[in-house]
């Protein structure tokens, strides 16, 4: 099932490393979102500043992960400690992008079920859909992480500014993101083989772009409902967006995993921040695992279809 390219050795490793760097760059934007949204600040204007002394952070110190390491976790101007949470989130987002790239290049996580060639050969021969799948499948867990951590950490950001401005978690953008994802997953099979949603091994009658559109819309509805059930801030928009990209069946799996992790966290009662962060990150980690293990999950779902709709 897993098959690597017959091309030059190490090509996949280079692409996976590039994916990690791209993910870490996304992660540094996630840091900006988590820090600024609860304070009612813009996420696009103004450069990064030291939270202690307000000095602008120089571009070379702002390089994801490396900047923090080279500074020894302290501000260059005032020496105040900079939270290890910043490089941790950058590394986490890098890992999401790299894991999904490795899974999709090996074929293990490929949503393009009709294709039989290894991912890298398809990529090198100009099949843009594998790059599109990777981009969608990376951005969604990263966005889920951003929404959930913003909601989970908003309470700790009780600054003067957050009391002046109404706190919000960026969920107002979720409808737009979900609509864009529905359009993408609907358009992709319309111009090529089906398989962008988890029911890609469904019977012929349930495939094609109309079926994809319906499954994607059902994914949004399932995600909104699941988010209301789990009750954690950020789930409502995160699970709806995930449902748009993977279908309603995927929402069921990820919601069950998320609730299991949160029950475990609640039972273990960790002190302070760690438990809140683990509980908040659970849906994003589950979504990453889901995208990375796409092929076996799709095959299992294909067997379900054959049981549900024999003949
Ligand atoms: Zn400073």
Q: What is the pLDDT of residues 135-186, one digit of tens each?
A: 889 999 999 999 898 888 876 554 444 445 545 666 777 777 888 888 887 7
The pTM score is 0.87
- Establish if 186 belongs to a structural domain: yes
Residue 1 lies in a domain: no
Q: What integer pLDDT is reported at residue 277 of this predicted model? A: 87
Rounded Cα distance between 81 and 50, Å, is 10
Ligand 1 centroid to Cα of residue 55, in Å, is 6
**pLDDT given at position 5:** 55
Cα 50 to middle of ligand 1, angstroms: 5
Distance 276 CA to ligand 1 centre (A): 27
pLDDT at residue 160, as a whole number: 44
Distance 51 CA to ligand 1 centre (A): 7
Tell me whether residue 3 is in a domain. Answer: no
From the CA of 59, how far away is ligand 1's center (Å)? 15
Provide the domain limits for residue 32.
11-308
Q: Is residue 5 part of a domain?
A: no
For 16, the token pair is 């996976």
Ligand 1 centroid to 84 CA: how many Å? 15
Question: Does a structural domain hold residue 232?
Answer: yes
Instruction: Report if residue 56 sits inside a domain.
Output: yes
Mean pLDDT of the chain: 82
- Of 165, 175, 169, nearest to 150 by C-alpha is 169
Residue 166 within a domain: yes
DSSP 208-254: HHHHHHHHHHHHHHHHHHHHHHH--TTHHHHHHHHHHHH-HHHHHHH
For residues 26 and 93, is the Cβ–Cβ distance under 8 A? yes
Distance between start and end Cα atoms, the chain: 26
**Domain count for the chain:** 1
248 inside domain: yes
What is the Å distance from ligand 1's center to 161 Cα? Answer: 19
CA of 30 to the centre of ligand 1 (A): 21
């Amino acid at each position: 099932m897993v098959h690597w390219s017959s091309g030059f050795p190490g090509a996949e490793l280079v692409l996976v490393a590039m994916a990690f760097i791209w993910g870490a760059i996304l992660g540094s934007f996630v840091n900006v979102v988590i820090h600024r949204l609860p304070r009612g600040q813009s996420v696009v204007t103004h450069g990064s500043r030291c939270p202690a002394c307000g000095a602008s952070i120089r571009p070379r110190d702002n390089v994801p992960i490396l900047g923090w390491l080279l500074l020894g976790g302290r501000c260059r101007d005032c020496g105040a400690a900079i939270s290890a949470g910043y490089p941790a989130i950058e590394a986490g987002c890098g890992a999401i992008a790299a894991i999904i790239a490795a899974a999709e290049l090996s074929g293990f996580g490929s949503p393009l079920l009709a294709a039989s060639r290894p991912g890298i050969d398809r990529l090198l021969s100009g099949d843009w859909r594998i790059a599109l799948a990777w981009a969608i499948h990376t951005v969604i867990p990263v966005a889920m992480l951003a929404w959930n951590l913003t909601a989970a950490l908003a309470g700790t950001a009780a600054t003067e500014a957050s009391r002046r401005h109404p706190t919000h978690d960026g969920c107002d953008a979720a409808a737009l993101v979900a609509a864009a994802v529905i359009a993408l997953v609907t358009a992709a099979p319309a111009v090529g083989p089906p398989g962008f949603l988890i029911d890609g091994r469904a019977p012929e009658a349930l495939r094609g772009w109309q079926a994809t559109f319906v499954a994607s819309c059902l994914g949004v509805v399932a995600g909104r409902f699941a988010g209301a059930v789990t009750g954690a801030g950020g789930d409502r928009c995160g699970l709806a967006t995930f449902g748009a990209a993977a279908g309603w069946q995927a929402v069921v799996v990820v919601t069950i995993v998320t609730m299991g992790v949160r029950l475990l966290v609640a039972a273990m009662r960790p002190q302070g921040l760690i438990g809140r962060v683990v509980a908040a990150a659970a849906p994003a980690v589950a979504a990453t695992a889901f995208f990375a293990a796409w092929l076996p999950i799709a095959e299992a779902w294909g067997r379900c279809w054959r049981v549900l709709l024999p003949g």
